[in-house]
Each structure stands twice: as structure tokens, then as C-alpha cells.
Amino acid sequence: MAQHTGTDQPATRFRRLLHIDLDQFQVSAERLRRPDLVGAPVIVGGDGDPSRPRQVVTCASYEARAAGARAGLPMPAARRKCPDAVFLPLDMEFYEETSAAVMDVIRSFGHPVEVWGWDEAYIGVDPRDEPATLDAHGVTELAHSVRRAVRDRTGLPCCLGISDNKQRAKMAAGFAKAAVREPDAPDEARVFTLDDGNWNELMGPRPTRDLWSVGPKTARKLADRGIDTVAQLQAVDRDDLIALFGPSQGNWLYVLCRGGGDDAIATAPWIAKSHSKSNTYPADLTSRDDLSAAAGELTREVLDQVIQEGRIPFRVGLTVRTSTFYTRTKMRKLAAPGTDYDAIAPVVADLLDAFDLDRPVRLLAVRLELLDP
């Protein structure tokens, strides 16, 4: 779950950024409750039943990944690849509590923190418009202090990447995660610095796909033109990249392959623009009565969450996915913003009636878009 902290406030630029990455977060959290799972293949997803084909893996331990299980894989496929794994259900409330405890530890060091979900955050060190307080050694020591504090106060392992922008810091954390999976790797390997001094040496020979934000489609488009590595991408003229990808992505690739990126931290709390609840049903829904009842139940669930947070919905969305995986979403504005179920439920019902449902339905989702606080 890697959603970044959104804010309309201006962000502060920093000389150094630390990216903290909690290893196999959901598995590590579960192992806090069950130490007997340490070292065992563990797979988390859905209600923990690996026989259900419509549930997928959300987190797999490194032991399970070695057998071929991975996030996004249907649970039955994960069981076939790793039959000895322990399968556990998602416990969202526990993960949120555990993550919040980690973020509190990070914030206790007094540096600005931008949270990117349960298992990721950025720490800003030394604003660029102020005198520097830490040299490279001091930043490294800070990273190790954060790592030890998270481990000692929450029991969770983490890796930290250090660089001068978010993209390189995240890739640096990736190097740290790879290093600690080696046999007998020391804890010190959990901190890694990636900057101008080692960028070309470490990243130049690597495939372009290893650049953060370069997806498979972009990598294929580059490969079709003989550009397979980061070093080869660096050799491409900026104008050629713009001609191939457009001004926005072309300029971004030109900067990214040279180690550039975003050096700003936004510290304002993340404010959700909407909340939603969805359900993939064990058996397809075919009757209108069943569909109406399911949509009403989802509406109550998401509305309860909105009310608990003191938010006000103003627009409703309904997503329908049929047995053929055809997926559509319809939106409708409420007559007036409010939290009255009796006012919202008829709008959801009208949205459902607007669908021409000639196929069984496997998934429904109700979304409430919210007024700003």
C-alpha cells in the first residue's frame, strides 16, 4: 500500500533524503504476534483461505517468494507454488496501528517526515535554504539510529536508502534490501547510500526497468530502439527522448537516468479525497435483490468509516465488475452533502439501475467522495 502524503501546501527541498522501507511489512507485523513464524514461508491475503480463487496475495515472506509466491498472485496459485506456507488473513486495523507506531518513532527524531503508506516514508535532512548541520557521515549515523530505534521500539526490521532526492533514495533502499538477503549480512547493510559518487558504477549497467517509475511499457519502448541499460539511456539526446515520449516523460527520463529527481518533502497530513469499500463475492451475484442488498451493505460500511472520521460525502460512485471482468464505474452527485444513509442509499440504487447487467457480477465497490475538512 504505497500512497503518498498529499498536500496543497508548498514542500521544502532538502540536501539529503532518507527513504525508510519496512521489510515484508504485513508478514513482519504478523510475526510480532507469532514469533513461531520467523523463518517460515508466510503468505498474507484476503481471509487467509488459499482455496479461494478470487483472493490474491498482498504480502509474501522472502521464504515464500523464493518458491514463486508474490503479491498479486491468486491464492490457489500461491498455494501450488508454496504448499508449505502459512496462510494468514489481512488484518487492516492491526497493520494501521503497527505502521502508525513506526511513523511515531521516525518523527521522534525531529526531522520532517512524508509518509507514503504503511511501509514507506521519507525523512528530510537539512533544508536547502538553511545552513547544513550534518555531513555525509552524520546522515549515515542518523539512518542507523532510525533503523535501531524502529527495531528496538516496534520489533520491525527496516532498510534505509540515502540520497539527494526521493527517486535515488528509494533505489538506495532497494540496494539495502538486496544486501540484507545475503547470508550472514550485518545489520549495517540495512543502510545504503546512492549518489553521484556511485550512481554510474552501480546503475549504468542495470536495465532501464530498474529506474524507479520506469514501467514495463516504457522499458519495452526503449528496448525496441536498442536502449536496454541506464548507461545507454544516458547516451540518448534529450530532444530524441522528447520526440519519442513527449516533453513531460522525455525530460523526466533524461533527468532520471542521470540520478536526478524530487528533493522536496511535504509534511502536511494526508487528507483522503474519498473512501471506498469493495467486495469480490465467492459466488457471482445474478439477481437484482442480491445486488441491491450487497450495494446497500457496502454503502453502510463506507459511510460508517466516513462518519467516524468526521467527513462529509458529496458524491457517490458505484463500480461493477462482471464475471467477464468487464468493469465500469458510474458517479452521481448527492442532492446535498451529508451523512444520512437514507439519502445516500437511493442514489446508490439509482446508479445500480443505470447498469445494463446482462452478466453475473463478481465485484461491487461503493465510493464516497468527500468535502475537504
Helix (H, G, I), strand (E, B) or coil at 153: helix
Q: Give the number of other Cβ atoms within 10 Å of residue 358's Cβ.
A: 6
C-alpha cell at 207: 536495465
Run of H or E residues at 343: helix 341-354
Distance of CA 329 to the CA centre of its chain: 23
Tell me the C-alpha distance between 12 and 268, whole Å.
11
Tell me the C-alpha distance between 349 and 331, whole Å.
12
Amino acid identity for residue 157 in this structure: P
Q: At a CB cut-off of 8 Å and minimum separation 6, what does 92 contact?
A: none
Run of H or E residues at 313: strand 313-322
114 flagged as catalytic = no
What backbone phi and psi angles, to 5 degrees, belong to 178?
A: -65, -40
Say if strands 361-370 and 313-322 run parallel, antiparallel, or are unpaired.
antiparallel
Helical H segments across the chain, by residue range: 25-33, 62-66, 75-81, 92-107, 136-154, 166-180, 199-203, 216-223, 230-234, 238-245, 247-256, 288-308, 341-354
| CB contact at 8 A, 90 and 27 | no
Catalytic residue, chosen from 120, 130, 309, 369, is: 120
Say if strands 327-333 and 313-322 run parallel, antiparallel, or are unpaired.
antiparallel
Tell me the C-alpha distance between 339 and 244, whole Å.
48
Q: Give the number of other Cβ atoms within 10 Å of residue 214's Cβ.
A: 20
First to last CA, the chain: 24
| Catalytic residue numbers, as ranges | 120
